[in-house]
Amino acid sequence: MNPTIVSGIEVSNKIKEEIAAQVKLNSAKGMKTPHLAAVLVGNDGASKTYVNAKVKACEAVGFKSTLVKLDENTTEEKLLEEIRKLNNDTDLDGFIVQLPLPKHINEQKITQAISPLKDVDGFHPETLGKMLLDLPSFLPATPMGILEMLKHYNIPTEGKHCVVIGRSHIVGSPMSVLMARNSYPGNCTVTLTHSRTKNLQEITLQADILIVAIGKPEFVTANMVKDGATVIDVGIHRIDDASKKSGFRLIGDVKFNEVAPKCAFISPVPGGVGPMTIASLLKNTLLAYTHKY
């Protein structure tokens, strides 16, 4: 089988073009520029890379962006104070606090301190509650990006069995809710699995759509996937590779070369879900902006 590659680069570029056109239009009407801020605590390499990519993406679509850099030893109280400032900044439409945070800071406390009106990552309990009740709200950025990919490639979802591997609040759990919703993409029968699931292979072999967010390199192999399935790989891992100029390569939670020949659709790593998370963040920021103006 020759699978269709579900390219997040292609879909995110299309979304970014649409957003840039909207910003231009607003600007011509004399409206202010959408403004997104990112808070980075500490020096985590992957976090720095993600935040820089977000700042670049803002520039590309004509958004104003602010990067708030805080020291690794920043106290929880100091970070909460910074969040209060951002919540009250009327020029700011949305902001994110880059995770993971240093161990001495309670992530839940920080997430809950962000104003739901500016929660463009979609992690606040109020935001997730609205998603659960199918009320208008921001959607968590990565699950929202996956929905956009399914839509762009017209991947059928109605009546399909969707198996999600991974139950995090950031991807797995919201994904399972969204794929069951009475809309497109959605209307799936959903099974949410995780590291404690028994007979996992038996369940994944029933999946028409398999969304993998377990955080283990090349965890899903060909013998876990049925012929003609759609596989969306959310994982991203750096693996040492001396043959590469960078000294490493990126792989996902799915053993791509082995699994791809069995699929109708499959997303690669890199170039799959990753770019979609940033595009969704921009989309949510525009949404926050339009609610205000």
Q: Which of 54, 118, 160, 262 is catalytic?
A: 54
Nearest to 49 by CA among 281, 283, 274: 274
Nearest to 256 by CA among 265, 241, 268: 268
- Is the distance from CB of 111 to CB of 261 less than 8 angstroms? no
CA distance 182 to 158: 9
Residue 130 is among the residues annotated as catalytic for this protein: no
Length of the chain: 293
C-alpha distances (whole Å) from 122 to each of 110, 174, 206, 284, 293 are: 13, 10, 30, 8, 20
C-alpha distances (whole Å) from 215 to each of 8, 165, 171 are: 19, 9, 11
Residue 226 is among the residues annotated as catalytic for this protein: no
CA distance 59 to 57: 5
Cβ contacts of 243-248, under 8 Å, gap ≥ 24: none
> According to the model, what pLDDT value does residue 44 have?
83
State the maximum Cα–Cα separation within the chain, in Å, rounded to a whole number. 59
CA distance 70 to 87: 17
Q: Which of 93, 119, 121, 233 is catalytic?
A: 121
- pTM: predicted TM-score of the whole model, two decimal places: 0.94
Question: Which domains does the chain possess?
Answer: 30-114 (3.40.50.10860), 141-274 (3.40.50.720)
With tokens 């406390």, the residue in question is 109
Q: Please name the amino acid found at residue 115.
A: S
pLDDT digits (tens, 9 = 90+) for 181-199: 999 999 999 999 999 999 9
Please list the helix, strand and coil fractions of the chain in percent, rounded to the nearest 5, in that order: 45, 20, 40
Q: What pLDDT band is residue 254 in, cutting at 50, 70 and 90?
A: very high
Nearest to 37 by CA among 53, 54, 20, 21: 54
pLDDT digits (tens, 9 = 90+) for 128-170: 999 999 999 999 999 999 999 999 999 999 999 999 999 999 9
Nearest to 153 by CA among 20, 272, 280: 272
119 strand-pairing partners: 95
Nearest to 99 by CA among 142, 163, 131, 149: 142
> According to the model, what pLDDT value does residue 1 have?
81
Q: Which of 16, 98, 255, 283 is catalytic?
A: 98
Supply the mean pLDDT for the chain.
95
Residue 121 is among the residues annotated as catalytic for this protein: yes
pLDDT digits (tens, 9 = 90+) for 51-75: 989 999 999 999 999 999 999 999 9
Q: Is the pLDDT of residue 293 over 60?
A: no
pLDDT digits (tens, 9 = 90+) for 200-236: 999 999 999 999 999 999 999 999 999 999 999 999 9
With tokens 């940033």, the residue in question is 278
Q: Please name the amino acid found at residue 254.
A: V
- Is the distance from CB of 78 to CB of 39 less than 8 angstroms? no
